[in-house]
Amino acid sequence: MEPLRTLLFVPGNRLNMIEKARHLPADVLVLDLEDSVPSLEKASARAQVRDSLAGLAPERRGGEKVKQKWRKVFVRINSLASGLAQEDLESVITPGIHGISQPKPSSARDVTEVAAIITRLERERGVAAGHVKLLPWVETAKGLLHAFEIASASPRVVGISFGAEDFTLDTGMMRTEEGSELLYPRTMVVIAAKAADVIAVDTPYNNFRDEAGLINEARLARRLGFEGKFLIHPSQIEPVNCIFCPSPEEVAHARRVVAAFEAAAAQGFASTSLDGKMIDIPIANRARKLLMVADSIARREKGR
Ligand code: COA
Ligand code: MG
């Protein structure tokens, strides 16, 4: 799976924002039909999102200079419990879409139900089988207890997202700025994602005028093993893209670690030292993993 560092929510009822989003450097645009759209506008937003999809995928922009060839377009549908999910899917499963963000699944069954509807619609609409990916949210107490099953419910699932606002609402936790109450669920989401071999995406940072706060939270998420973060405002894209991309210093250090380890291995040793610190197999493999992420981001950005 390609790195998905920044996933920008765009309310499905705000045509000016959808239009603006076309030119923004987020890895994923997530057109929202759920909580940013009021009940009375659900039907009109659905139609608007459907009509906008074809123009958002960069490869479909005739003639215009394409900036982010890798950019993906997802739609967040309403939950199954709302009774709106089926109609949302009927409307938006078209060749222009890469994935569906599914809110509030309680169990694997909720995910397989959505996956089955997508399978039928792909067939009916001439979309390649398996093209539409799934990014379920873990944002309820039941969802967290079933996070691994949710993450492994279907081959369409490419990641799971932690949703802090609904999670604190559902569990009665107090939501704080420093967020210590979220350490356990965040960590569980990452562990469940890794056990299922998918990525973990962190919750949005709502205080969108506070760049220092955003950077702190995104750094914490990266330290915990998240590979990307949902965003709500264009100003959040650049700092978060930067945090989820290994820095030049990290890349240089990882190269030195791998070189030192390989030199030791060539002499028959499985451990060595660098700058007074021990290096062994997992440390070398962690460095190799970081280099792979850096390389895959650099390669796709060069291919602009
Ligand atoms: N996507 C695309 N464009 C956006 C955007 C978004 N998520 N958020 C803001 N913009 C645009 C604005 O329309 C404005 O465009 P303009 O300069 O052409 O008028 C520009 O970026 C600057 O916006 P700003 O004035 O700073 O903010 P705002 O008051 O217009 O909007 C929010 C603030 C929070 C209402 C808005 O960012 C938003 O709706 N975010 C998404 C919320 C959401 O999806 N929530 C559900 C998930 S939890
Ligand atoms: Mg939510």
Nearest 5°: the CA angle 231, 234, 238 is: 85
Q: Measured from the CA of 35, which atom of ligand 1 is nearest?
A: 46
Question: In this structure, are 171 and 274 located in the same domain?
Answer: no
pLDDT digits (tens, 9 = 90+) for 216-270: 999 999 999 999 999 999 999 999 999 999 999 999 999 999 999 999 999 999 9
Question: In this structure, are 237 and 189 located in the same domain?
Answer: yes
Q: Measured from the CA of 208, which atom of ligand 1 is nearest?
A: 34
Tell me which H or E stretch contains 30: strand 28-32
- Residue from 185, 157, 152 nearest 170 by CA: 185
Question: In this structure, are 280 and 132 located in the same domain?
Answer: no
pLDDT digits (tens, 9 = 90+) for 75-127: 999 999 999 999 999 999 999 999 999 999 999 999 999 999 999 999 999 99
Q: Ligand 1: which residue has its CA nearest to atom 31?
A: 233
Q: Measured from the CA of 16, which atom of ligand 1 is nearest?
A: 13
Q: Is 275 left (phi over 0), alpha (psi -120 to 50) or beta?
A: left
Query: Residue 143 falls within a domain, yes or no?
Result: yes
**36 within ligand 1 shell (Cβ under 6 A):** yes
CB 50 within 8 A of CB 87: no
Question: In this structure, are 148 and 173 located in the same domain?
Answer: yes
Question: In this structure, are 156 and 270 located in the same domain?
Answer: no
Question: In this structure, are 154 and 256 located in the same domain?
Answer: no
Domain count of the fold of the chain: 2
Q: Ligand 1: which residue has its CA nearest to atom 26?
A: 233
CB 214 within 8 A of CB 201: no
pLDDT digits (tens, 9 = 90+) for 170-211: 999 999 988 999 999 999 999 999 999 999 999 999 999 999
For 84, which DSSP code? -
Q: Of the candidates 194, 215, 243, which is a domain's last residue?
A: 243
Predicted pLDDT of residue 59 = 53
Query: Residue 256 falls within a domain, yes or no?
Result: yes
Query: Residue 272 falls within a domain, yes or no?
Result: yes
Query: Residue 296 falls within a domain, yes or no?
Result: yes
Predicted pLDDT of residue 15 = 97
Question: In this structure, are 176 and 284 located in the same domain?
Answer: no
Question: In this structure, are 203 and 269 located in the same domain?
Answer: no
CB 161 within 8 A of CB 122: no
Residue 94 Cα to chain centre, angstroms: 21
Question: In this structure, are 141 and 263 located in the same domain?
Answer: no
Chain mean pLDDT for the chain: 95
Predicted pLDDT of residue 39 = 97
Question: In this structure, are 153 and 198 located in the same domain?
Answer: yes
Predicted pLDDT of residue 27 = 96
| Full residue range of the structural domain in which residue 126 is found | 6-243
Q: Of the candidates 224, 243, 262, which is a domain's last residue?
A: 243
* pLDDT band at 41; cut points 50, 70, 90: very high
**11 within ligand 1 shell (Cβ under 6 A):** yes
Question: In this structure, are 212 and 189 located in the same domain?
Answer: yes
Mutate-to-test residue for ligand 1 from 20, 24, 235, highest number of ligand atoms within 8 A of CB: 20
The CATH number assigned to the domain holding 150 equals 3.20.20.60
CB 201 within 8 A of CB 226: yes
Q: Measured from the CA of 9, which atom of ligand 1 is nearest?
A: 44
Q: What does pTM read for this prediction? A: 0.95
Predicted pLDDT of residue 67 = 63
Query: Residue 1 falls within a domain, yes or no?
Result: no
Question: In this structure, are 53 and 170 located in the same domain?
Answer: yes
For the segment 55-77, the average pLDDT, to the nearest whole number, is 73
**227 within ligand 1 shell (Cβ under 6 A):** no
Predicted pLDDT of residue 60 = 46
CB 200 within 8 A of CB 190: yes
Q: Of the candidates 195, 227, 243, which is a domain's last residue?
A: 243
DSSP letters spanning 206-259 = --TT-HHHHHHHHHHHHHHT--EEEESSGGGHHHHHHHTS--HHHHHHHHHHHH
In the chain, the N- to C-terminal Cα span, in Å, equals: 19
